Amino acid sequence: MLFVCLGAGAVYAQGEVPENGPSVTLEDSQKVIGQWMQALDNIEHALDDGDVSGRILSEGRGQLDKILQGFSGLKNLANEKLGRLKAALGKLGEAPSEGQTEVLAVAEQRSRLNKEIEQVSGIIKQVELADFRAAEISDQLAKISRDRFTKRILGRVDVPWDSAIWGKAFSEAFEIPDLIRSRYSDLELNGAIGDQLTEIAPGLVLLFSLVVATLIGGEVVVLRWLPERWQQAPKEDRVSLISGTRFVFTALVPGVALLIVYHMVQRQPDLMVGNMGDFIHQCLMALLFLLFVGASVRSIYSPFAPKLRRVGTTESGTRVVGLLCLFAALIYAGDLVLLQGATSLGTSLDLALVQSVSNVCLISIAFLISSLGCFWGHGEQDRHEMWAKVERRCRRGLRIISLVLPVLTLIGYVALARFILENLMMVLAFVTSYWLLRGYLRALVHTYLVRPAPSGDGASDAVQGMLHFWLRVTIDVVMFTCAVPLAVLIFSDIALADLVDAAQTAFIGIQVGGINFSLRAILIAILLFLVVLGVMRFFQRMLNTRVLPNTKLDEGLQHSVSAIFGYAGICFAVLLAISAAGMDLSNLAIIAGAISVGIGFGLQSIVSNFVSGLILLIERPIKVGDWIVVGADQGLVKDIRVRATEIETFDRSSIVIPNSELISNRVLNWTLKDRVGRGIVKIGASYGADANKVREILLDIADKRREILSYPAPQVVFIDFGASSLDFELRYFLRDIGDVLAVASIVRFEVLDRFRAEGIEIPFPQQDVHLRDMDRLEAAIREMGMGPRKAADHEASLPEVRGSEAIGEASDGIKPASLPSVAKDENRDRDAAGREIPDAGGEPDGDAPR
Lowest mean pLDDT among 39-48, 677-686, 783-792: 783-792
Q: Quick check: is 121 in a domain?
A: yes
Q: What is the Cα–Cα distance from 540 to 561, expressed in whole angstroms?
A: 9
The per-residue pLDDT for 19 is 40
Mark whether 700 and 795 lie in a shared domain: no
Calculate mean pLDDT across residues 807-824: 41
Q: Is residue 372 over pLDDT 50?
A: yes
Q: Is the peptide bond before 712 cis (omega within 30 degrees of 0)?
A: yes
Q: What is the Cα–Cα distance from 72 to 124, expressed in whole angstroms?
A: 10
The per-residue pLDDT for 639 is 85
The per-residue pLDDT for 4 is 39
Lowest mean pLDDT among 417-421, 676-680, 793-797: 793-797
Kindly indicate the confidence band of residue 702, based on its pLDDT and cuts at 50, 70 and 90: very high
The per-residue pLDDT for 557 is 67
Q: Quick check: is 84 in a domain?
A: yes
In 3D space, the residue among 176, 179, 162 whose CA is nearest the CA of residue 354 turns out to be 162
Calculate mean pLDDT across residues 217-227: 66
Q: What is the Cα–Cα distance from 129 to 101, expressed in whole angstroms?
A: 39
Q: Is residue 289 over pLDDT 60?
A: yes
Mark whether 252 and 397 lie in a shared domain: yes
Calculate mean pLDDT across residues 697-714: 91
Kindly indicate the confidence band of residue 580, based on its pLDDT and cuts at 50, 70 and 90: confident
The per-residue pLDDT for 510 is 57
Q: Is residue 2 over pLDDT 80?
A: no
Mark whether 400 and 265 lie in a shared domain: yes
The per-residue pLDDT for 696 is 93
Segment (H or E) for 626: none
Q: Is residue 693 over pLDDT 90?
A: yes
Please identify, among 426, 443, 460, the residue that sits at the C-terminal boundary of a domain: 443
Calculate mean pLDDT across residues 594-621: 71
Q: Is residue 838 over pLDDT 50?
A: no
Kindly indicate the confidence band of residue 800, based on its pLDDT and cuts at 50, 70 and 90: very low
Kindly indicate the confidence band of residue 822, based on its pLDDT and cuts at 50, 70 and 90: very low
The per-residue pLDDT for 729 is 94
Calculate mean pLDDT across residues 526-537: 85
Lowest mean pLDDT among 156-170, 532-546, 731-745: 156-170
The per-residue pLDDT for 799 is 47
What amino acid is encoded at 635 in this protein? Answer: G
Question: Residue 48, exposed/middle/buried by CB under 10 A (0-12, 13-18, 19+)?
Answer: exposed
* Residue 483 CB-half CA count within 13 A: 17
Calculate mean pLDDT across residues 166-171: 74
Q: Quick check: is 194 in a domain?
A: no
Greater model confidence, 5 or 590: 590
**Radius of gyration over every alpha carbon of the chain, rounded to an integer in angstroms:** 52
Q: How does pLDDT run across 629-678, given as a tens digit for each residue?
A: 988 888 988 888 777 888 998 888 889 998 888 888 888 888 888 888 89
Calculate mean pLDDT across residues 489-511: 62
Lowest mean pLDDT among 47-61, 493-507, 541-555, 757-771: 493-507
The per-residue pLDDT for 727 is 93
Kindly indicate the confidence band of residue 756, based on its pLDDT and cuts at 50, 70 and 90: very high
In 433-566, DSSP assigns E strands to 510-512, 515-517
Q: Quick check: is 541 in a domain?
A: no
Kindly indicate the confidence band of residue 232, based on its pLDDT and cuts at 50, 70 and 90: confident
The per-residue pLDDT for 723 is 84
Q: Is residue 14 over pLDDT 60?
A: no
Residues 6 or more apart whose Cβ sits within 8 Å of residue 261: 203, 204, 207, 208
The per-residue pLDDT for 22 is 41
The per-residue pLDDT for 697 is 93
Mark whether 735 and 703 lie in a shared domain: yes
Q: Is residue 845 over pLDDT 50?
A: no
**How high does pLDDT run on average in the chain?**
74
Mark whether 791 and 744 lie in a shared domain: no
Mark whether 753 and 788 lie in a shared domain: no
In 3D space, the residue among 60, 35, 39 whose CA is nearest the CA of residue 141 turns out to be 60
Lowest mean pLDDT among 332-336, 606-610, 846-850: 846-850
Please identify, among 758, 791, 824, the residue that sits at the C-terminal boundary of a domain: 758
Mark whether 146 and 278 lie in a shared domain: no
Q: What is the Cα–Cα distance from 149 to 815, expressed in whole angstroms?
A: 143
Give the highest mean pLDDT range of 2-6, 60-64, 333-337, 633-637.
633-637
Q: Quick check: is 436 in a domain?
A: yes
The per-residue pLDDT for 118 is 86
Q: What percent of the chain has pLDDT over 70?
A: 70
In 3D space, the residue among 464, 467, 451, 503 whose CA is nearest the CA of residue 482 turns out to be 503
Q: What is the Cα–Cα distance from 471 to 446, expressed in whole angstroms?
A: 9
The per-residue pLDDT for 789 is 54
Lowest mean pLDDT among 7-11, 474-478, 542-546, 548-552: 7-11
Q: Is residue 80 over pLDDT 60?
A: yes
CA 121 to chain centre: 51
Q: Is residue 156 over pLDDT 90?
A: no
* Residue 329 CB-half CA count within 13 A: 23
Q: How does pLDDT run across 430-455, given as a tens digit for each residue?
A: 888 888 888 888 888 888 877 654 44
Q: Quick check: is 603 in a domain?
A: no
What Å distances lie between residue 514 and 86, 584, 587, 595, CA to CA? 21, 9, 10, 20
Mark whether 750 and 781 lie in a shared domain: no
Q: Quick check: is 351 in a domain?
A: yes
The CATH number covering residue 697 comes to 3.30.70.100
Q: Is residue 627 over pLDDT 60?
A: yes
Give the highest mean pLDDT range of 64-68, 337-341, 513-517.
64-68
CB-CB contact of 60 with 141 (8 Å) = yes
Q: How does pLDDT run across 290-332, given as a tens digit for each residue?
A: 888 888 887 888 777 767 777 777 878 888 888 888 888 888 8
Mark whether 792 and 708 lie in a shared domain: no
Calculate mean pLDDT across residues 534-554: 82
Lowest mean pLDDT among 423-427, 780-784, 808-812: 808-812
Please identify, among 154, 169, 190, the residue that sits at the C-terminal boundary of a domain: 154
Q: Is residue 134 over pLDDT 90?
A: no
Kindly indicate the confidence band of residue 147, based on its pLDDT and cuts at 50, 70 and 90: confident
Q: Quick check: is 610 in a domain?
A: no
Lowest mean pLDDT among 58-72, 620-634, 758-772: 58-72
Q: What is the Cα–Cα distance from 661 to 551, expressed in whole angstroms?
A: 32
In 3D space, the residue among 411, 317, 331, 413 whose CA is nearest the CA of residue 365 turns out to be 331
Mark whether 816 and 682 lie in a shared domain: no
In 3D space, the residue among 289, 396, 375, 380 whose CA is nearest the CA of residue 333 turns out to be 289
The per-residue pLDDT for 730 is 94
The four Cα atoms 50, 56, 57, 62 give a dihedral, to 10 degrees, of -150
Q: Is residue 8 over pLDDT 50?
A: no
Total domains in the fold of the chain: 4
What amino acid is encoded at 742 in this protein? Answer: A
What is the sign, positive or negative, of the torsion defined by CA atoms of 748, 750, 752, 754?
negative
Mark whether 684 and 830 lie in a shared domain: no
What Å distances lie between residue 335 and 282, 293, 363, 403, 421, CA to CA? 10, 15, 11, 20, 12
Calculate mean pLDDT across residues 127-152: 78
Greater model confidence, 481 or 26: 481
Determine the structural domain holding residue 812 and report its residue range: 777-834
The per-residue pLDDT for 17 is 34
Which three-class secondary structure state does DSSP give residue 730?
strand
Q: What is the Cα–Cα distance from 836 to 839, expressed in whole angstroms?
A: 9
The per-residue pLDDT for 847 is 39
> In DSSP terms, which residues pair with 636 in a beta bridge?
627, 648
Listing DSSP states for 20-78 in one string gives PPP---STTHHHHHHHHHHHHHHHHHHHHTS---HHHHHHHHHHHHHHHHHHHHHHHHH
Q: Is residue 820 over pLDDT 50?
A: no
Mark whether 319 and 404 lie in a shared domain: yes
Q: Is residue 836 over pLDDT 80?
A: no
Lowest mean pLDDT among 98-107, 391-400, 421-430: 98-107
